[in-house]
Each structure stands twice: as C-alpha cells, then as structure tokens.
Chain A
Amino acid sequence: MKNEIGKLYIELNEEFNFYAPIKDQGNLKFRKVLNPDDIVLDYYNTKIPPKEILFPEMEVLFEYKTDGKNVTEIIERKDLEYKNIIFGIRPCDAHSFTLLEYFFSYGDVKDEIFLKKRKNTLIMGIACNSPKSTCFCTSIEGHPFMKSDMDILLVDLGEKYLVEGISDKGKKLMARLKWLTDAKQQDVKIAEALSKKAEESFETKLDLKDIDKILDPNFEHPIWEEISDICIGCGTCSFLCPTCTCFDVLDQNNQYNNKGRRIRIWDTCQFSLYTLHTSGHNPRKSCIERCRNRILHKFCYYPENYDMLGCVGCGRCIQLCPVNNDLRSIIERINKIKSKKEEKVSA
C-alpha cells in the first residue's frame, strides 16, 4: 500500500540511514529522511543524481593533528560502516552504482572509502512507469524496469506497490518486513503490462551500437570543433551526471587549533585548470579538447576498459545544459561520420 511507506521508514530507520527523494529549495534531491511525510514519490527523477549519497560533493579523506609545524597523528574515518538504504531510486541511477563500483575497483589499488560504503548500502528502487521524453536508458541496453542493479524493486500499480526482492541482501530484508502481503498473480500481470508500455513509450532512441569503434580512430576529426563551439566550459553536465567521478584533493588547515583535514571535492574535465601542469603546459587547452574528452570517456574509453558504456541514459545533461548542447544531436553527428566512411569504401 502506498501509505505504508511511512511504516517502512519507521521500521528501517533505526538500523539504516534512510535516503529518499526530498524537495530542497525547490529541487528534488536524495536526502536522509527525518520525516517520512517529506518523501516525494510522484516524480520522474531527482535533479542531483544519487551518486552524492556515496560519493558526496565534499568528502573527508582523513583528519590530522599537528604540533604547530609537523603532523603528529592521522585520524581515519570511522563512519564508513554505517548501513544505508537508498529508497525510490530509478533503474538508470541504480545502474550508475554498478558502473561506479567497476570504476572505483579498477586497478590494483581500489578506492576503499567508496567501496566500504557501497557494501553496506541496499538499493530499493522504483521502476519507471512513464519515462521522460529525454530519457534513453533503452539505448544503452538498459530498461525502465531493469532489475539487475537493484536489491529490491518496487512497481507502482496505482494504489499499491508490487515489491520484489532481487538480490540475496534484498530478499533477506523483505523477509523481515512481515506486514507485506503476498502478491497476487493479477498484480504481477499488471506490472508486466506496465513494463511493456514503458518500454515502448521512449521518444529518444540513440544508435549507440559500436560507437566506440567510430570514436576511436576519429580523435583528430574536425567534427569536434563543431560539436564544442557553443560549450561554455562549466561543470553542469559532469556534476549532474550519475557516472562522472573526477575529483580534486585539498588540505584544509586549521592553524589555530593545530588540526586539519584532507578532503576531496567534485571536479570536472570541463574546467580549464583540470589538466594544467605547474609548468604552464596544458594538454587540453581549449573547449574543443575538453568537450571531446568527455564524450570519448563516456562512449569510447569506458567500453574499452570495462566493456560497457559509461552513460546510463538519465537525460539530465540534456535538460540542464546551460547552452542546450544536446547529447542526442552530438551522437547523431558522430554516427554520420560512420556513414561517410562507408561511402568512401563503397566508392
């Protein structure tokens, strides 16, 4: 039942940090719930992606104490063991957590801060009955009712939710919620019909098959000058992207109290200082190179390194880019390079 969300919250709030979509200054974001009446579930998607729960905009790496000149002690974080539940997340954003996990565990040295928190996090998502006109998760092999990245999936049947445990963690949690009633066969059928309807309702369909094969040899193609001509080089697309993870590291010193901390904050390859060497040399000195790097990173390097596209199809960059540099038209223009190549071959 829809009005039982409060019951869910009360039961789980003791043990878990319960995150759900909440309106903050007119913007919908994932926040820790203090009052279950604040939870908004009649929505498309939040403005800021849920990556900020496990990878916040500003995060402490460690704290330290000094004797006025030198460091005497390094204090590690102890709050990484808290359990979290992310409730009301959409399948595209849930898929972003899978991608983030791959990224942070790539290589010999893994990002333990993120991975510890991820291990203690349960994802309880709600399927998309009506995707937005700018959503395109089906183009990246996703689905508005996709289950594989979720621990528990809810489907909105109108008056009530159909709740399905997907992973072992999810099934264990569901078993604890004794007040859930068994689903009827009819409910499952309604959910299947909704799934099919949602799948067919997508307005945006991008051709992303083998896009990494088109991008790889075309690094120096003149099309990048066209694609980036109106880009102003702000951080909106990266900060609102569920899979962008670049960060900067700063030391904050409190010299009066002889202590401080090292923090990391979100950064983006779109800023001009991102790759600036102290010598003054900048391998990406204009918007052309920086815009190109972002597209290549999502659609070429991700498939080459992890065998999956780095985009989840949420459409936030399309809606919120200040100059409306639409990703869909960028992909279209890149695909046109492919057909020009084929023309050359056949001629």
Chain B
Amino acid sequence: MSIETENKKIEEEMREVARNLLREKKVNVVIGYTKGTVPLSSTPIIITSENNVDKLIWNNLCYVNLAKYLVPRIPQLIDPEKGDLKVGIVSKGCVGRALVHLSVENQINLKNVKMIGIPCNGIINRKRIEKEIGEKEILELFTSDQDIVVKGKDFEAKYSYDEYINELCKVCKVKSPPKIVDFKDSCLGECQEVKSVDDNFTDVVEFESKATQDKWSYIKEALQSCTRCYACREACPMCYCNLCFVDQNKPIWFEKTTEISDILSFHLIRAMHLAGRCVACGACSSVCPVGIDLNLITRKLEKIVKERFDFISGIDSNKMPPMMDYNMNDREEFMLEE
C-alpha cells in the first residue's frame, strides 16, 4: 500500500470516530491536526462541532505531541462553570503513551479523555530535509508511493521515506496508543495491547561505541547553535513544572545565557529530568528552530532506564516510573560503601 493510501485510510477512520464522539456529546472538544500553512508543517486544531471534523487530517508531518495542551491545561479547555472539559485527542502511539504516563503521574484524569487511536506510520524528519535542501525554498512536500517528494520553484527532489523519517520513528515499537486496563472507554479507534517492548537501542549503541573525545565534540558542536528559545521544553508534554529549574533564582542553579557551559547544563539536565518519562515522540527535535537533534541524548537515557529498571514509559498504567519509586534491590554505588 502506498503511503498516501495508508494516510487516507487512517484519516477517514479517525474522522469517523471524532464525528461520533462529538455527535453523541461524549466529548466537548476534539484536539487534532489540520493542514499546515507552510509546506513542512501541520497545525494543531481544537474543534467543537462535528461540522468541522473534515478539518482534521493525518499526514506524516503531525509532529506536535497533543498531550501538551492538557498539562498544564490551557484555559480554552476549562469551562469556568463546568470545570475541565471532556476532551477527545487524535493519538498516535507516542501521544497515547504521553497520556498514560501523565495519568500515572496524577496530572490528568483519563476518565475525561478519549484517545482517538491511529496507527502512526512515521513522522518525516523535517529538519533533516530542510538542511539537505539548503537555501532553496520548499514550496510543496508530499508522499508518492514510498518516497517523499519535495518541490520548489526550479527543483524537485526525492527522498526515500524509510530513510528520511525521524530516527525515533525508525525504531518505534508503539505505533498506536496502548490499551489501558482501567480506562477501556478512553481507548477508541486503533489502540493496541502492549505487554512489553523489545528494543535493542541499535541507534544509541552505534554512537556509544565512539571515542569519548569524539562524542563530547559532537554533542558540543551540535548544541552550540542553541538560542535558548525553550521550544523543546514547551513542546514536551513531560515538561510541565510550574517553575522550571532553569528559571529558579533561589538559588540560581544554572544561568540562562548562550555560553556553551550554560547550554550544556540546560539540555543535559533536562534530559536527566526526562529519564523514565520521555515517550520518544520527537517533538523536541522537530520544533527546534535551529535543527538540533536532541533525541540522541534522550534515547541514551531511555536505554539506561530500560537496562537498569526494565521500564518503558507510558505502557502500563499501574507501573510506577523508576524515578518516583524505589526497590530494595536498587543499585546504590553512589550512596553506600560496600
């Protein structure tokens, strides 16, 4: 099946579920994606009426993690009299994982959330394509058979779909939202049973094997162009702290400047705060205006958490994340002497 046919099928089924939810008033709003106004984007949209369901689309540029709008809940999803509105969310696998993990962290009540599950077939690595096209302007991007076609004023380029989706999507094992035992009514559309996830982390192993000095130079060079815009932090559904560590001033832990030491502190510590929580949606790398691939670091932390604690976030609504829990068998090299 060509990619466009797949997408069309996903879109139609997703619209049907959304239409029914709104018609039967099971939700007050549906959050999904609509066509972007520039070629490499899609726009999140909040619809309230079934007449607008045809605005919802699915294509391989839906990179925003929609769970972001629930925690902290944007004022448009709160009714001053009724409280939290009932929400339907178009959920690819990582969005579903984010919702499950946020419910484990007691940030949302899945009773008021209906996941419209879709079997995601990958998100195009827009920053990589932009960098390879260089300074030419991209006027159109679409999938044709198994290729990504990019058109501009005087040029056309073809990229292999399997090669040019996000690195995370290439190794993704949870393409549609996990079914949750305690909230069966919240899992609509295509949701899957996920018992366990096998991940070899081949993408991380390759980078791990390089020499320390090479790894350090690579990461430093990649992070050097960071402008501290915090698009990565704001796009991440797990970054919902009322006061981020970087904004605290009693005491000032790390500074907000663009010196390389401050940039490294921000990104490395943010990755640490995501250990056992990151759902590998890739939104942080997709939204970065200067195209930094932040997922290299987050994948490494995911690997450590899987190896040490046998834990993958957002799969099981009854398993506590390792950074919020303890086990008498935990290793304590840093705390106690043997």
Find out whether A and B make contact in their complex, taking CB atoms under 8 A apart as touching: yes
A residues in contact with B75, CB < 8 Å: 225, 286-288
B residues in contact with A248, CB < 8 Å: 256
| Option from B42, B225, B286, B287 in Cβ contact (under 8 Å) with A27 | B225
Given contact pairs A132-B137, A236-B229, A265-B256, A324 touches B289 in the complex (Cβ within 8 A) = no
> CA separation between A107 and B98, bound complex, in Å?
49
Given contact pairs A58-B258, A58-B259, A233 touches B234 in the complex (Cβ within 8 A) = yes
Distance in angstroms from A332 CB to nearest chain B CB is 11
A320 with B235: CB separation less than 8 A? no
Distance in angstroms from A220 CB to nearest chain B CB is 14
| Option from A25, A250, A323 in Cβ contact (under 8 Å) with B64 | A323
> CA separation between A239 and B141, bound complex, in Å?
27
> CA separation between A248 and B14, bound complex, in Å?
45
Range of interface residues on B (Cβ < 8 Å): 35 or more
Distance in angstroms from A37 CB to nearest chain B CB is 16
A229 with B287: CB separation less than 8 A? no
Whether, in the assembled complex, B184 has its beta carbon less than 8 Å from a beta carbon of chain A, the answer is no
B290 with A27: CB separation less than 8 A? yes
Number of A residues with CB within 8 Å of any CB on chain B? 48
| Option from B46, B64, B224, B286 in Cβ contact (under 8 Å) with A229 | B46
| Option from B43, B255, B287 in Cβ contact (under 8 Å) with A252 | B255
Whether, in the assembled complex, A318 has its beta carbon less than 8 Å from a beta carbon of chain B, the answer is yes
A residues in contact with B131, CB < 8 Å: 26
Distance in angstroms from A185 CB to nearest chain B CB is 30
B135 with A42: CB separation less than 8 A? yes
Q: Which residue of B lies closest to A328 (CB)?
A: B37
B224 with A25: CB separation less than 8 A? yes
| Option from B45, B225, B287 in Cβ contact (under 8 Å) with A322 | B287
Whether, in the assembled complex, A174 has its beta carbon less than 8 Å from a beta carbon of chain B, the answer is no
A residues in contact with B228, CB < 8 Å: 57, 235, 265-266
Interface of A is mostly: loop
Of residues 107 through 162 on chain B, the ones whose CB sits less than 8 Å from some CB of chain A are 131, 135, 137, 139, 153
Of residues 14 through 50 on chain A, the ones whose CB sits less than 8 Å from some CB of chain B are 24-28, 40, 42-44, 47-48
Whether, in the assembled complex, A206 has its beta carbon less than 8 Å from a beta carbon of chain B, the answer is no
A323 with B257: CB separation less than 8 A? no
> CA separation between A329 and B35, bound complex, in Å?
13
B135 with A239: CB separation less than 8 A? no
A24 with B37: CB separation less than 8 A? no
Distance in angstroms from B221 CB to nearest chain A CB is 7
Kindly name the residue among A234, A266, A318, A323 whose own CB sees the greatest number of chain B CB atoms within 10 A.
A323
Whether, in the assembled complex, A130 has its beta carbon less than 8 Å from a beta carbon of chain B, the answer is yes
Of residues 67 through 92 on chain A, the ones whose CB sits less than 8 Å from some CB of chain B are none
* Interface residues of A, Cβ cutoff 8 Å to B: 24-28, 40, 42-44, 47-48, 57-58, 130, 132-134, 225, 229-230, 232-236, 239-240, 248, 250, 252, 263, 265-266, 271, 273, 286-288, 318-320, 322-326, 328-329
**The 9 residue pairs across chains A and B that have the minimum distance between CB atoms:** A322-B287, A234-B231, A43-B135, A324-B41, A235-B229, A234-B234, A232-B234, A324-B43, A26-B131
23 of the cross-chain contacts (CB-CB < 8 Å) are A25-B291, A26-B131, A26-B291, A40-B135, A57-B257, A58-B259, A133-B137, A229-B74, A232-B231, A234-B231, A235-B229, A235-B230, A239-B227, A265-B228, A265-B257, A265-B258, A266-B227, A318-B38, A322-B231, A322-B234, A323-B44, A324-B36, A324-B42
